[in-house]
Amino acid sequence: MLEFVKSLIRSVLWESFLKRSFQTGSFDLLLIKGVSVYLKAIDAARKSVLRLILLMAALMMLIVGFVALHVGVFILAGWSLQTVGIITVCLGGAYFLIFGALMLVLTSERTWMKISKGAELVEKVTKSKCN
């Protein structure tokens, strides 16, 4: 009988007070973790936007310098207009092919998996879950 009363008191106490406090504490902790992850994501997005703006500014300066260099060389060389046109088309084609190859390499999934070490992470997680 004494065990029955103890178990009854324990279950009533658990249902009325302790269970709610544990659930509330866990939920509060979950909310705090969620807000923390959200704030980190906002910070990462802000940094990405800033890097993108700096990258665009650097790219614009690179393009301006590149064009100015070619125009200066063509003016100083004293070549005929037809020669300058042929050289410009050849250089443009070469630059296009170089840029295209570079973009294929930089945007490939294999490159990003190497940079982010995603394959190692997947292997580590699957090993720990399978064992």
**pLDDT tens, residue by residue, 19-72:** 565 556 666 677 777 778 888 888 888 988 899 999 999 999 989 988 889 888
Decide: 99 and 105 in contact? Cβ < 8 Å. no
- Residue 1 or 72, more confident: 72
pTM of the model: 0.49
- Position 131 scores a pLDDT of 57
- Position 107 scores a pLDDT of 84
CA separation for the pair 128, 120 (Å, rounded): 12
The number of angstroms, rounded, from the C-alpha of 25 to the middle of its chain's C-alpha atoms is 33
Across 83-95, average pLDDT: 90
| Residue 131 parent element (H or E) | none
- Position 123 scores a pLDDT of 79
